[in-house]
Chain A
């Protein structure tokens, strides 16, 4: 069965960086894109961007341009999201999800809580 398993919770200081991993199984990894979505405490869902494991191209939300980098490692069927220059308003649960381009996000990881606090 399709599974996306994310890395554990992180606590970071303002200005630091965080890298969240997402390991996929149960499907052909390069055949689907990986998207990242975050959810601040008590808030709604915010799309952050996506990456194509097959080609390696990315598309990021404009508000995160310059601070976010998404990568994949097809040898381990893993995706990574690195967010730099962390601020307190980056505190959120970060989700990875699978999709075919143009389609909705059909499988999601369990989420990774990133807390930014001094």
Chain B
């Protein structure tokens, strides 16, 4: 099973700050790494697929990068509405797995 680790666990930031979340896979997964945003009481929402492809309608301040085992989700100029948990997910091999999540709080 491929284990995904995320850092940090929690990040408290002020609006307009830049946020960087990392996801590391226990073995190479190519670019089969995806990012979801989950706001309290809501279902997860797919933000980025295949490491760097933004989904339609996702604000341009969200971007993803990486390949192999190391991946990054970046939020440029954070807005208050970005307060949420962010999860990475690998679809390279079964069982599919998720990272433990990173909670982004607004100061």
Q: How many interface residues does B have (CB within 8 Å)?
A: 22
Can you name the residue of chain A whose Cβ is closest to the Cβ of B100? A44
Residue A41 is within 8 A (CB to CB) of chain B in the complex: no
* Chain A residues within 8 Å of B34, by CB: 104
Stretch at the interface among B65-73, B74-82, B87-95: B87-95
A contacts with B: majority SS: loop
* Chain B residues within 8 Å of A2, by CB: none
Whether the Cβ atoms of B97 and A47 lie closer than 8 Å is: yes
In A66-118, the 8 Å CB interface with B consists of 95, 99, 102-106, 108-111
How many Cβ-Cβ contacts under 8 Å join chain A to chain B? 49
Interface string of B46-68 (1 = CB under 8 A from A): 10011000010000000000000
* Chain B residues within 8 Å of A105, by CB: 36, 44, 46, 89
Q: How many interface residues does A have (CB within 8 Å)?
A: 20
Q: CA–CA, A47 to B43, complex, Å?
A: 14
B contacts with A: majority SS: loop
User: Shortest distance in angstroms between A36's beta carbon and chain B's nearest beta carbon?
Assistant: 11
Further 18 A-B residue pairs, CB within 8 A, beyond A45-B87, A108-B43, A109-B43: A35-B96, A45-B89, A45-B98, A47-B95, A47-B96, A62-B95, A95-B43, A103-B91, A104-B46, A105-B36, A105-B44, A105-B46, A106-B46, A106-B49, A106-B55, A108-B45, A110-B43, A111-B43
Interface residues, chain A, with chain B CB atoms under 8 Å away: 35, 37, 44-47, 59, 61-62, 95, 99, 102-106, 108-111
